[in-house]
Amino acid sequence: MSLLPILKWPDPRLAEVCAPVERITPEIEQLAADMLETMYAAPGRGLAGPQVGVMQRLFVMDVGWKEGRSDPLVCINPMLQEVSETRATATEGCLSIPGVTAEVSRPARVQMVWTGLNGARFVQSLEGFGAVCVQHELDHLDGVVTFDHLDAETRAALIAEYEAA
């Protein structure tokens, strides 16, 4: 395994929509292992393909590892099947926008379907931080970053803070 460089905003690849993963190959398996290693070293709780320059619909996450409840997921071609009408606001950070956090409002509960490395399809309902993380990583696969969720004034202030750092 090896650590991968994490792209930083405003790299234009972070604004691109990713292509589906066509087949699970040994290269995809190695990429997933490298992405998990990179995520843990960063240290983050999620990392999407475009954040490491791979423009494919793949992300890894482990929302509980920092609290000693490690449960890594590799999500290939993930999509949301259901989203709640109820919304929740949470503070989000991003490995591609280091040092910046923002309050983002998202559906409070989601149901995601994805393919695992073994080729099986999985369905899971998530709420709380799990729902936030899944939606954040799915955004990356669609070329959306945290700044894109903010009103113009908040966005401008956070971009100025980020660029000054």
Residue 148 has a CB neighbour count (10 Å cut-off) of 12
The neighbouring-strand residues paired with 19 are 56
Q: Are 148 and 159 in contact (CB under 8 A)?
A: no
CA atoms within a 13 Å half-sphere pointing along the CA-CB vector of 76: 16
Q: Are 130 and 63 in contact (CB under 8 A)?
A: yes
SS3 97: coil
Q: Are 29 and 117 in contact (CB under 8 A)?
A: yes
Question: Residues 27, 137, 153, 163: which is the catalytic one?
Answer: 137
**Annotated catalytic residue 137:** yes
Task: Give catalytic residue positions.
Answer: 137
